Structure 1
Amino acid sequence: MKAVRYHSYGSSDVLVLEEADHPVADAGQVVLRVAGTAFNPVDVPIRAGMVREVFPVRFPHIPNYDVSGVITEVGDGVTGWSAGDAVVAFLPMTAPGAAAEYVAAPAGVLAAAPRSVDLADAAALPSVALTAWQSLFEHAALRAGQTLLINGAGGGVGGYAVQLAKRAGVTVTATAGARSRARVQAYGADHIVDYTATPLPEAVAGQRFDVVLNLVRTSPEETAALVGLVADGGAFVSTTVPAPEDTGRGVRTVQVFARSDAAQLAELVKRVDAGELKIDVAERRPLTDLAAVHELAVAGKLAGRTVLIP
């Protein structure tokens, strides 16, 4: 089969399209014919070797851990799934990934694919939507009637966070630049702060929020300022940087590391099919463009959530 792999850490030049062995379903696994796989920003530091202590990979490595596809083979011990089933999954991040024509996946991470969207586009859902769900409802314990500030709502996680919070009856203030403002507004954000025009602390001066969700890599000073926007007894949740542990005022701080959860993913799929959650795909590209997508991401020029199609 064809796959994009890298044989050593390095720049995007190490990503090469080449022949690779067709995966086989071990016990507890299935093999998927990949319909789509989504690029994630963390794919870049993993490929560069910057996070090898946390995400070590074996070479040659096939990247990409968000996938949608159709089951072609079922391994021993797998129940509930059959060849021909369309599925989505958040794959183990250091295992051979979905930047290929086929990928082996643990059956325990699978959810039936949404029926209301193109199967390839469904690859844009798993890890980012799970990150938003777990951040808001597991770690922040967000509930109806509360106020939420999302720093970085224009990204993949942020878009799902806005939608999920609004459906939960929460008042949402979101930061977004000109490129993503209309989309964030369409998701239902009550207030939008253009961080390129006015610094966030200045734009929300005098306000505090029950929950602040930080999806942007911030300096220690910027992080402290965000924590200062949390109401007494509230929560600061970050997917990027740790927060000070001793914040006072009863403020909880959590750094989130998302996990694959098939039951939660199935619930998110249900919401997509019910029209309650929109999957936004900014661009669809052939898998051969993966190195170019990495370059665009590094340059800050990626249009948004990008799905690659073998």
Structure 2
Amino acid sequence: MHEHRVEQRVIRLDRIPRPVPGPGEVLLRVAATTFNPSEAGLRQGLLRSIVPLALPYTMGLDVAGTVADGDRTGRRVVARLDGGAAADYAVAPADLLVPVPDTVALEDAAALPIAGLTAWQAVFEHAKVTAGHRVLINGVGAIGRYAVQLARHAGAHVVAVATPRNLTAAREAGAHRVLAAGAVTGARLEPVDALIHLVPAAPEHAALLRPGGILVSATTPADQLPPGSVHFIVRNDTADLAAMLALVAAGTIRIDIAARRPLTGLAAVHAEAEAGHLPGKTLLLPTA
């Protein structure tokens, strides 16, 4: 079996025995995993104090695949793992698996767990977006594209702030108004009920919040946010993930995939991301 492992911060392709599931675990044949920016931080050792790792470490947090053993063999599932999905086969706790509806492409479902859950929890759990709210979403990468769609689905009026290369994506996600990053100052905007801040920098648009409004961020440390803001770390929640999949199956939410790459190119994907050349969500597909 092939897997991509980190050893001394370097990604290396190894051939190892197929993993054996333990109690409460199942074996998955991986259909796809993804690149997440947090994995670059893991590889570089920047998150060591938060997520200590024993090296070598098999990468891959998002996984979509089919159950490869037991009485559920062949079932299509998706999950968020703590690593191990950047391989031909992965072991996953059975209680983390969420069925993938037949109308949803199995590969594509791998793009949902981390980005989708982060957007879901930002919009509904922390910002509590409902019909009639005005919402500003700053940053329309993988998470922001879902956040725009979910806020629009909730009945909110959505203003999106995006980099030039993501302006079209923000419009396609359903934002009512799209502004280029750097062009918000001077724009005539009504106060907003929620600011969902999804870029790794201190927020610039907090003045647009109405009294009682909320600023929510999953990307900026709490000490760089204004008082009263919410900084959160995404929670692995199978009910939220199942709800996202139901919206995808119904055609309400679209899975946005920027690129599909072979898993053998994982090191190159990391290098492109660190150079700022990786747009949106990239799927990584085993070639075996």
Range of TM-score over shorter length: over 0.9
2-structure distance, mates of 1:22, 1:71: 14
**Structure 1 residues 17 and 247, CA, compared in 2 at 3 Å: closer, same or farther?**
closer
| 1:213 has 2:189 as partner | no
Report what 2:279 is aligned to.
303
Displacement of 1:142 in angstroms is 1.3
1-structure distance, mates of 2:172, 2:226: 34
Secondary structure of 1:42's match? helix
Q: Deviations 1:74-111 (Å, cap 9, x if unpaired)?
A: 4xxxxxx711100011112xxx4200001111112111
**Identical columns (%):** 42
Q: Does structure 1 conserve the Cα–Cα contact (< 8 Å) formed by 2:40 and 2:270?
A: yes
| 1:129 has 2:116 as partner | yes
Structure 2 unaligned segments of length 5 or more: list them: none
**Structure 1 residues 30 and 176, CA, compared in 2 at 3 Å: closer, same or farther?**
same
2-structure distance, mates of 1:299, 1:90: 26
Q: Does structure 2 conserve the Cα–Cα contact (< 8 Å) formed by 1:114 and 1:122?
A: no
Displacement of 1:202 in angstroms is 3.1
| 1:233 has 2:199 as partner | no
Counterpart of 1:283 in structure 2: which amino acid? A
Report what 1:77 is aligned to.
none
Report what 1:203 is aligned to.
187
Q: Does structure 1 conserve the Cα–Cα contact (< 8 Å) formed by 2:192 and 2:210?
A: yes
| 1:63 has 2:63 as partner | no
Displacement of 1:189 in angstroms is 0.3
TM-score normalised by L of structure 2: 0.94
Q: Give 1:17's match in structure 2, choosing from 13, 27, 30.
A: 13
2-structure distance, mates of 1:247, 1:232: 14
Q: Does structure 1 conserve the Cα–Cα contact (< 8 Å) formed by 2:33 and 2:64?
A: yes
Q: Deviations 1:215-241 (Å, cap 9, x if unpaired)?
A: 00114xxx2x33222211111001111
1-structure distance, mates of 2:160, 2:224: 25
Report what 1:78 is aligned to.
none
Q: Does structure 1 conserve the Cα–Cα contact (< 8 Å) formed by 2:139 and 2:163?
A: no
| 1:190 has 2:173 as partner | no
Q: Where do 1:174-189 residues align within 5 Å?
A: 174-189=160-175
Q: Where do 1:1-310 residues align within 5 Å?
A: 1-9=1-9, 14-74=10-70, 82-92=72-82, 96-153=83-140, 155-195=141-181, 198-204=182-188, 207-219=190-202, 223=203, 225-243=204-222, 247=226, 252-310=228-286
2-structure distance, mates of 1:243, 1:257: 11
Counterpart of 2:209 in structure 1: which amino acid? V
**Structure 1 residues 247 and 57, CA, compared in 2 at 3 Å: closer, same or farther?**
closer
Count, aligned residues = 286
Displacement of 1:177 in angstroms is 2.7
Q: Give me the CA root mean square deviation.
A: 1.7
Secondary structure of 2:66's match? strand
Structure 1 unaligned segments of length 5 or more: list them: 75-80
